[in-house]
Structure 1
Amino acid sequence: MSEGPAARLQQLFDGHRLTPTQRRIAHCMVRRAADVPFLSSVELAELAGVSQPSVTRFAVALGFDGYPALRRHLREVAPVEARAAEEAGAAYNEYQQAVEAEIENLRHLAGVLADPRPVERAGRLLAGSRPLPVLGLRAAAAQAYGFAYFAAKVHPDVRLLDEGGTMLADRIDAAARAGASALLCFALPRYPREVLDALEHARGAGLTVVTVADSAFAPVAKASDLLLPAAVGTGLAFDTACAPMLLGRVLLEAMCDGLPDAQARLEEFDTRAAARGLFVE
């Protein structure tokens, strides 16, 4: 499977110690991977919310003479089919373009999952945590709820944390006192400050933080022990999150592999649901 533009950018940044400003530029480039080879340094600076000289220093930090050299490199490594798709994109309306962008995000996720070890490690961590707190605020609340809904069918104690406020730290502390060893977080743009605070608090309480975010350069990366990236779409007024949702389901599968009684719990639920007439067949 050929790598998508986001995957190639991730590889370009690997091994470099980036400043917070440079990480912000890298994060912006990953989110706009298909557009970056065609952006000027001024346009990229505006998108990332930094100064134009910061973009130049970022390119030099990656080993290039300047931003033009970085852009030439990105254009050279872009495969022919990617450039053709970019040109063909003009034939799509804005709704179709959003769908095509999500398809590319899913292709990128498939490429990331070619190495299953991070997800398998995350599955073991989640399966072994009793209870298992699942955090997601604002834009990520739906992702956290969906994971927690299905996880509760196989995991004995799942605790959904989808509301912020002063009680959030208390609920994390309660989970840690009850024996939790890990916390799963879904973090999507725009990132609430209290999510970062909550993750730092969770680590301070001894929990291993597993985070699903839209990029390895997301602000929550520094407060996560294991970050699993899944890009969001940015072509519409509000971001689309098909890849993070699918990654959540993949994590559920990996967690089930670490729960020896998962299948028995599912069968027990199905039996109870049939007895109650819970679903219309």
Structure 2
Amino acid sequence: MQTDLLSNINNNYNHFSKGQKLLANYILNNYEKAVFLTAAKLGKIVGVSESTVVRFATLLGYDGYPKLQRALEEMVKNKLNSVQRMEVTFDRINRDNILKSVLHSDADKIRITSEEIDEKAFEVAVDTILQAKTIYIIGVRSSAPLASFLNYYFNIIFKNVKLISTNSASDLFEQLYRLNEEDVIIGISFPRYSMSTLKAMEFASSRGAHSITITDSYDSPLTTNSNCNLIARSDMASVVDSLVAPLSVINALIVAVCLKKQDQIVDTFASLEKIWSEYKVYRNDEDNDIK
């Protein structure tokens, strides 16, 4: 994606107007900053009108400025290191009301995910999970809590669920070596993408296993070896990864699977409630014994 956009700008540079060349130069030299600018703000920075920015995006072959921003986003998201991510966050955030700024940003990502996610792919994912002999789940680093959350509920619902933990390459393949075409692997990763998760998905593909990805874009490297892609927006440049939208997608997966296995799930939780009560797993059970 980076090569396509930057090459496009370079190849057409001599045909640009003076204002378009100012835009081209800024994007070529500051694309990691340009991605976060509105058309109006980008125009103000380089000294051209907002309409010039919009026409520039169209000239490059994009259907409006937001599409150009999306192309820039694909370039930038896997390149920012942790220090650069903090610098961008500090520039973007409203320091007078950090709480609301973060909450509104997270809510926006859920909204965009809801509008863009492929519902047919979601249905395929649910059916694939229900038909699998063994379900493998992998998500490391910041994606590890998502994988752990999905594993917790799937272990209640299904008999054969394996959460892959990776301390080394040998550990990874030792946990996956029984994986075959009757199984499914669910890979969860967001920029900067984990090599362990990528290797796991590649290995699953070589074994003919079904695969589901939960990631941020169809340009994510995880999609190369996946049969089914669930795209959830994350914040590519933040001090911490915004994973509320992926968590919502995972919640939906769990609910959808439960509805498909409704009778069995009711029996399972009825049995668990008896065990939880007997062994006083929850605070309410302990309070009942206090005189």
TM-score bracket, shorter-length normalisation = 0.5 to 0.7
> Whole-Å Cα distance in 2 between the matches of residues 93 and 24 of structure 1?
36
Report deviation, 1:74: 2.2
**233, 237, 240: which one pairs with 1:238?**
240
User: Are 2:96 and 1:110 equivalent residues in the alignment?
Assistant: no
**Residues of 2 paired with 1:24 and 1:183: CA distance?**
36
Selected match of 1:266 from 265, 269, 277: 269
Map of 2:64 onto structure 1: 73
Counterpart residue number, 1:249: 251
Q: Is residue 137 of structure 2 the alignment partner of residue 152 of structure 1? A: no
Task: List per-residue Cα deviations over 1:89-136 (Å, max 9, x = no partner).
Answer: 8696444322221111011122235x5322121111112212211111
CA distance in 1, matches of 2:200, 2:226: 11
Secondary structure of 1:183's match? strand
For 1:73, the aligned partner's letter is: G
Match of 1:124 in 2: 127
Say which SS state the counterpart of residue 100 (structure 1) adopts.
helix
The one-letter code sitting in structure 2 at the alignment partner of 1:168 is: L
The offset of 1:143, in angstroms, is 0.6
2:166–2:196 contact (8 Å) kept in structure 1: no
Q: 1:192 to 1:22 in 2, by over 3 A?
A: farther
Cα separation, 2, equivalents of 1:162 and 1:47:
36
Q: Report the Cα distance in structure 1 between the residues aligned to 2:206 and 2:5, rounded to whole angstroms.
A: 24
Judging changes above 3 Å, is the alpha-carbon distance between structure 1 residues 43 and 213 closer, same or farther for their aligned structure 2 residues?
A: farther
Asked if residue 205 in structure 1 is aligned to residue 207 in structure 2, the reply is yes
Aligned length: 224
Question: CA distance change for structure 1 residues 95 and 163 in 2, over 3 Å: closer, same or farther?
Answer: same
Distance 1:93 1:243 in 2: 22
Whether the aligned pair in 2 keeps the contact of 1:134 and 1:148 (CA below 8 Å) is yes
Q: Residue by residue, what CA displacement relative to the aligned partner does 1:174-231 show, whole Å, maximum 9, x if unpaired?
A: 243xx74211111122112221111010111121110101222212111211110111
Residues 22, 220 of structure 1: alpha-carbon distance in 2 compared, 3 angstrom cutoff: farther
Q: Give yes or no for contact 2:57–2:68 (8 Å, CA) kept in 1.
A: no
TM-score (norm 2): 0.66
CA change 1:47–1:268 in 2 (3 A) is farther
- In the TM superposition, 1:193-232 aligns within 5 A as 193-232=195-234
- Which string of whole-angstrom CA distances, capped at 9 and with x for unpartnered residues, describes residues 150-190 of structure 1? 111111111101324212112112243xx742111111221
Alpha carbons of structure 1 residues 47 and 164: separation in structure 2 relative to 1, 3 Å: farther
Task: Write the letter of the residue equivalent to 1:206.
Answer: G
SS of residue matched to 1:262? helix
Aligned residue for 1:133, secondary structure, equals strand
Identify the residue that residue 31 of structure 2 maps to in structure 1: 45
Identify unmatched segments of 5+ residues in structure 2.
Answer: 8-22, 36-53, 70-92, 285-291
CA contact (8 A) 1:127 1:256 kept: no
Partner of 1:59: none
Taking the aligned partners of 1:130 and 1:95, their CA distance within structure 2 comes to 44
Larger % of helix: which? 2
1:132/1:175 contact within 8 Å kept:
no
For 2:165 and 2:205, the matched residues in 1 are separated by: 18
**Which SS does the other structure have where 1:210 is aligned?**
strand
- 2:229 partner SS: strand
Change (3 A) 1:77 1:134: closer
Structure 1 residues 77 and 234 mapped into 2: Cα distance closer, same or farther (>3 Å)? closer
Q: Give the Cα–Cα distance (whole angstroms) in 2 for the partners of residues 191 and 198 of structure 1.
A: 12
Q: Are the aligned partners of 2:205 and 2:211 in contact in 1 as well (CA < 8 Å)?
A: yes
Distance 1:97 1:264, change over 3 A: same
Contact preservation (8 Å) 1:123, 1:257: no
Matched-pair contact (CA < 8 Å) for 2:58–2:65: no
RMSD: 3.5
* Residue identity matched to 1:131: T
Q: What's 1:191 paired with?
A: 193
Secondary structure, counterpart of 1:152 in structure 2: helix
